[in-house]
Amino acid sequence: MSFPLLTATAALPAIGAVATAAVPAARRTAAKWLALGVSLGTLALAITVLVRFDPDGARYQLTESHAWIKDFGVRYELGVDGIAVALLALTAVLIPFVILAGWHDADPLETGSRRWRPTQGFFALILAVEAMVIISFEATDVFLFYIFFEAMLIPMYFLIGGFGDRAHEHGEEAASTQRSYAAVKFLLYNLVGGLIMLAAVIGVYVVAGNFSLTEIAQARANGSLHMATNTERWLFLGFFFAFAVKAPLWPLHTWLPNAMQEATAPVAVLITAVVDKVGTFAMLRFCLQLFPEASKWATPVILVLALISIVYGALLAVGQRDIKRLVAYASISHFGFIIMGIFAMTSQGQSGATLYMVNHGISTAALMLVAGFLISRRGSRLIADYGGVQKVAPVLAGTFLIGGLATLSLPGLAPFVSEFLVLVGTFARYPAIGIIATFGIVLAALYTLVLYQRTMTGPVKPEVSAMPDLRARELVVVAPLIVLLIVLGVYPKPVTDIVNPAVKQTMSDVHKTDPKPSVEAAK
């Protein structure tokens, strides 16, 4: 038996989490370095996966399979396709930056504060989330996936509820109350989604007799497993609901702004750039493969909801007064694009959506982490408390602008490629929806530039006049992300080459082919 690479990729951060948590309280710096080292090790493993993965090879590669709960046919089955590899790489790339950006977020507060800040716990929880996200991307057993999909909530709950922004305008008590509200809201939303999914998971077992994604998908494809139309639709809805909460799709989105607002910037990045991606990824992998017919049946409604998400999220972002809430609503708009691309059922749409997940992860991380640096300097999340930062901290403003430009999908930066692919893929099949979604790009420019204008330009406000520019550690966090944005914007081929074959497979799962251009069709 060969080396279980996929298990190792997930196990390393899991072990790292335990080890970090076990570091004695006095040696908090050691814990930070340990966590960073583990995340870099995971990145190395993820790169190994990327290198060993052959885009033109079998659909699932590096597979591992062991019996786990024999009585119920639950297996420990791992395997990655192109889509999973891309997201695995994204996760592994982002976590070191999240750790580095949050370097001081869990330091003990000044003496006199009653709150205890467990530094070790913070970094251990981040690593735990990483492990669970990675195994969710790798699992090809529905039950195994479900367990980690749900288990992720536990560390996330503590990360949101336990660590907030340092300063708060209404004092610590109010901050703590709001944080718990956000954390509980996050937990309840996702738990409800997850429980509905659990019912559907059991339903799949009842219908199919096992939990193996590959077996069920194969049986569905060759017709040996028949599902009654209604059964398939109910099961699809059960899965989709959970993923739509996680993604999040309008109108199940309201937990995200609260969670992102209250969490520290690195945790907010963890939520929107990493954990939420499991939702959209699972739509592509589980919804489309297990329930192709029901997916097609639900497509019109889902596309409309995605469209509403795009426009609604963008409009709400325009109306926000809080920087982090603004980014959260912008993300809701972007998740609308991802879901639209997935359900447009064209290769451009689905490749675009996968690419979008990767690019959105990077661009949101860049924007949100810089916003976090900004907020930590002034101790306020309100846009109105800033002004003229550009003058005192030009590098911070410059990186913030680049993050913003990536968010508004400026050509030349990575998100443009994916957004355009999604739009073109949608337009090819549903022109009206494609055109309305295009309005999203105008609105994106609006909220980004308004944010930039209000915070960075104009006369320097007295409160920001002494603001220091980005420090070396912060620059180390932001610069590579910006380089990635530019590189993937100019040369996205490495990612598309990996993703394209997997999307082709998914397209054939749902028995769809790209529409032909009308000039050819006429001939």
Partner 1 sequence: MENLIALLIAAPLLGAAVLLVGGRRLDAVGQWIGTLLSAASFVFGLILFADLLGKNAEHRTLTQHLWTWISVGSFQADVTFRLDQLSMTFVLLITGVGSLIHLYSVGYMEHDERRRRFFGYLNLFLAAMLLLVLADNYLLLYVGWEGVGLASYLLIGFWQHKPSAATAAKKAFLVNRVGDMGLSIAIMLMFTTFGSFAFGPVFSHAGDASEGKLTAIGLMLLLAACGKSAQVPLQSWLGDAMEGPTPVSALIHAATMVTAGVYLIVRSAAIFNLAPDAQLAVTVVGAVTLLFGAIVGCAKDDIKKALAGSTMSQIGYMILAAGLGPIGYVFAIMHLVTHGFFKAGLFLGAGSVMHGMNDEVDMRRYGGLRKYMPVTFITFGLGYLAIIGFPFLSGFFSKDAIIEAAFAKGGTQGWILGGAALLGAAITAFYMTRVMLMTFFGEKRWQPDENGNEPHPHESPKVMTIPMVLLAFGSVFAGGLFSIGDRFLNWLEPVTGHSEGHSPISAATVTGATMVCLVIGVGIAWAQYGRKPVPAVAPRGSLLTRAARRDLLQDDFNHVVLVRGGEHLTRSLVYVDHTLVDGVVNGTAAGFGGLSGRLRRVQNGFARSYAVSMFGGAALLVAATLLMRAV
Q: Which residues lie near partner 1 (CB under 8 A)? A: 188-189, 250-251, 253-254, 312, 315-316, 318-320, 346-348, 351-352, 388, 390-391, 398, 405, 410-412, 416-417, 420-421, 423-424, 427-428, 431, 434-435, 438-439, 441-442, 445-446, 449-450, 453, 456-460, 490-493, 496, 500, 503, 514-520, 522-523
Q: What is the SS3 string spanning 64-109?
A: EEEEEEHHHCEEEEEEECHHHHHHHHHHHHHHHHHHHHCCCCCCCC
What 3-state DSSP class applies to 128?
helix
b/e for 424-436, b at 16 or more Cβ within 10 A?
A: bbbbbbbeebbeb
Do the beta carbons of residue 378 and residue 287 sit within 8 Å? no
Question: Is 206 or 442 the residue whose CB approaches partner 1 more closely?
Answer: 442
DSSP-derived letter for residue 172 is: H
Question: Is 207 or 311 the residue whose CB approaches partner 1 more closely?
Answer: 311
Question: Is 198 or 308 the residue whose CB approaches partner 1 more closely?
Answer: 308
What is the closest distance, in whole angstroms, from the C-beta atom of residue 361 to partner 1 in the complex?
19
What is the closest distance, in whole angstroms, from the C-beta atom of residue 31 to partner 1 in the complex?
34
What is the closest distance, in whole angstroms, from the C-beta atom of residue 60 to partner 1 in the complex?
21
Closest of 103, 34, 90, 29 to residue 373, by C-alpha: 103
What is the closest distance, in whole angstroms, from the C-beta atom of residue 41 to partner 1 in the complex?
31
What is the closest distance, in whole angstroms, from the C-beta atom of residue 130 to partner 1 in the complex?
29
Distance CA 430, CA 300 (A): 10
What is the closest distance, in whole angstroms, from the C-beta atom of residue 273 to partner 1 in the complex?
22
Distance CA 115, CA 107 (A): 11
What is the closest distance, in whole angstroms, from the C-beta atom of residue 435 to partner 1 in the complex?
6
Question: Is 226 or 493 the residue whose CB approaches partner 1 more closely?
Answer: 493
Question: Is 194 or 388 the residue whose CB approaches partner 1 more closely?
Answer: 388
Do the beta carbons of residue 294 and residue 233 sit within 8 Å? yes
User: Bridge-partner residues for 498, per DSSP?
Assistant: none
Which residue matches tokens 């981040």?
126
What is the closest distance, in whole angstroms, from the C-beta atom of residue 515 to partner 1 in the complex?
7
Question: Is 178 or 457 the residue whose CB approaches partner 1 more closely?
Answer: 457
DSSP string, 306-350: HHHHHHHHHHHHHT-SBHHHHHHHHHHHHHHHHHHHHHTTSHHHH
Distance CA 128, CA 98 (A): 13
DSSP-derived letter for residue 408 is: T
Percentages of the chain per state (helix, strand, coil), in multiples of 5: 75, 5, 20
Question: Is 127 or 423 the residue whose CB approaches partner 1 more closely?
Answer: 423
Question: Is 225 or 424 the residue whose CB approaches partner 1 more closely?
Answer: 424
